[in-house]
Structure 1
Amino acid sequence: MAGNTSAPGATVVSRALALLYAFDDRHRRLTLTELARRAGLPVPTAYRLAGELVAGGALVRRADGAYVVGRRLWDVGLLAPVQTGLRRIAAPFLNDIHAVTRATVHLAIRDGAKVLYLERLSGRASVPVVSRVGARLPMHATGVGKALLAHAPYEVQEAVMADLAPLTPYTITRPDRLRAQLEQVRRDGCATTVEEMTLGACSIAVPVRGRDGEAVAAIGVVVPTLKRDRARLLSALQVAAQGVTRSLGG
């Protein structure tokens, strides 16, 4: 929830932003009442501002009256320098991995205590996944998320440890087990998952380094199993990550 934006002194801009921030991965479609509640606004105020956002293309009102995020808002979001520059630089390396593996290939960054997907390539050989471009998913249950979490600040790691929600029967939900995994990620330079986000899907991912050596992004692939081609997949990811790092000036 965006907070008490109905309080005196809240600006029109802050109230409009509260409406936009009311949407997330678990709340992609909101009725007017839900939108007002999550934004902390009176229903009449939410209705008026939502109407202006619909007129501007930031929101879309469906036939049943519910609101969803508009395409125009996503188009503007893609102009953020970290996304456009990184996606452009990483594109040829991601395409190379996809051509070799025909698996789902991800490029992601950390967004607070979540992992934000900037790119996803998939094909006929890909396994079903819940990721999509622009999605923010739990870090503890995804390969790219673990690759980034292992190098995240202490306070971010602790925030994730406090909410290890089970997504499948195989999701790591014990902080001590996850901490041990993150230590292994730092030692091995790669992170893996085994059906922790989606049943039937395993992943392996590596971090992409920036100029100062920090993990600025992660590249990963999702496959049915890691038992056969783990070494080949890891090698392809490492080559790609090194290429992106060099292109970033790292």
Structure 2
Amino acid sequence: MSGENGASVTGKVLALLDVFSHETPALTLTELSRRTGLSLPTVHRRVAELVAWGALERGPDRRYRVGLRLWELAALSPRGHGIRDVALPFIQNLYDPTKQQHIHLSVRNHLDVVILERLSTPRAPDVIGQTGGRFGTFATGAGLVLLAHASEDVREEYLSGPLPRYTETTVTDAGLYRSTLAAVRRQGYSSSDRMMGPDIHCVGAPIYGPDHSVVAAVSICFRTGTRSVQEVAPAVRATARSISRALVDPVPPPSGQ
């Protein structure tokens, strides 16, 4: 929570937007005031402006939700929808309705992992995260890839803090984590076996952009023991390579369009 003394109008607006999440998608004025530390009159004024602009919408339950205007702006992000639009046909080819699995397309936003797209089969195991969601851990298949290929400064910033433990097999030792990330870079894919859930195994691979840096990751999550890394990794890596080639050399639209 942050007080409003000295905060700019922009800072107050951003603080209001920042408290919305998948866990708290709808909030009252009082809840917004409590979560931001802003006074109720300030919240009332700033929220009215956000509603008028379309950044927030007020429902019949008197709660406020993120408005469509923000989704329209988000669609302009080249690191979001741009990558997703190119990658979607390839991850759809990776999707197999006969297997209980999730396919994630993810990017890194500093110390957060953001899911751009998620395809899930019926009866797939429960996993953390959904499209548009973010989480501050790199213990997933995609997260390990994104952290492994981040700059050393970013890696060390993440590893300098307490590493969250989700299961008995979650890696929480910084030295072991460094070794794990080095193995990801060396072998070209990640393997997160029961690090995020007691029965979840995720395998991820890096997607490269035009400047040959890793811009995203594709991953498959499945129930531990139902498939092997040797079976999954080649398909995930092949999909990542196809997306990388498409980002570097996009196919032009047919003539006349």
Query: What TM-score results when the alignment is normalised by the length of structure 2?
Result: 0.84
Aligned twin of 1:172: 171
For 1:1-250, list aligned pairs within 5 A: 5-7=4-6, 10-11=8-9, 13-24=10-21, 27-61=24-58, 65-99=62-96, 102=99, 103-161=101-159, 162-225=161-224, 228-249=227-248
Which segment is superposed worse, 29-38 or 206-215? 29-38
Question: Does the 8 Å contact 1:4/1:41 carry over to 2?
Answer: yes
- Asked if the contact 2:95/2:119 (under 8 Å) is kept, the reply is yes
| Contact 2:163/2:173 (<8 A) preserved | yes
- Whole-angstrom distance in 2 between the partners of 1:243 and 1:25: 31
Give the residue type in structure 2 aligned to 1:44. P
Q: Tell me, which stretches of 5 or more residues in structure 2 are unaligned?
A: 250-257
d(CA) in 2 for partners of 1:29 and 1:201? 30
Contact 2:205–2:217 (Cα < 8 Å) also in 1: yes
**Residue type of the partner of 1:22?**
V
Letter in 2 for 1:99: D
* Alignment CA distance shift 1:226-1:145 (3 Å): farther
Deviations 1:136-161 (Å, cap 9, x if unpaired)?
12332211011010011122112222
Whether the 8 Å contact between 2:97 and 2:121 is mirrored in structure 1 is no
**Residue of structure 1 in register with 2:254 after alignment:** none
What amino acid is the match of 2:45? R
Contact 1:144 1:191 (C-alpha < 8 Å) held by counterparts: yes
> Relative to 1, partners in 2 of residues 1:83 and 1:196: Cα closer, same or farther, differing over 3 Å?
same
1:22, CA displacement in angstroms? Answer: 2.9
Q: 1:194 offset after TM fit, Å?
A: 1.9
Distance 2:178 2:62 in 1: 45
Q: What is the Cα deviation at residue 123 of structure 1?
A: 1.4
| Aligned residue pairs, count | 247
137-146 or 49-58: bigger deviation: 49-58
Identify unmatched segments of 5+ residues in structure 1: none
Contact 2:191/2:229, CA 8 A, preserved across alignment: no
Aligned residue type for 2:112? K
RMSD: 2.5
Partner secondary structure for residue 74 of structure 1: helix
Structure 1-normalised TM-score?
Answer: 0.86
Question: What is the alpha-carbon distance in structure 1 between the residues aligned to residue 195 and residue 152 of structure 2?
Answer: 23
CA distance in 2, matches of 1:153, 1:93: 27
Where 2:95 maps in the other structure, the secondary structure is helix
Percentage identity across aligned positions?
36
| 3-state SS in 1 of match to 2:145 | helix
Displacement of 1:101 in angstroms is 6.6
Distance 2:23 2:163 in 1: 16
Whether the aligned pair in 2 keeps the contact of 1:140 and 1:172 (CA below 8 Å) is: no
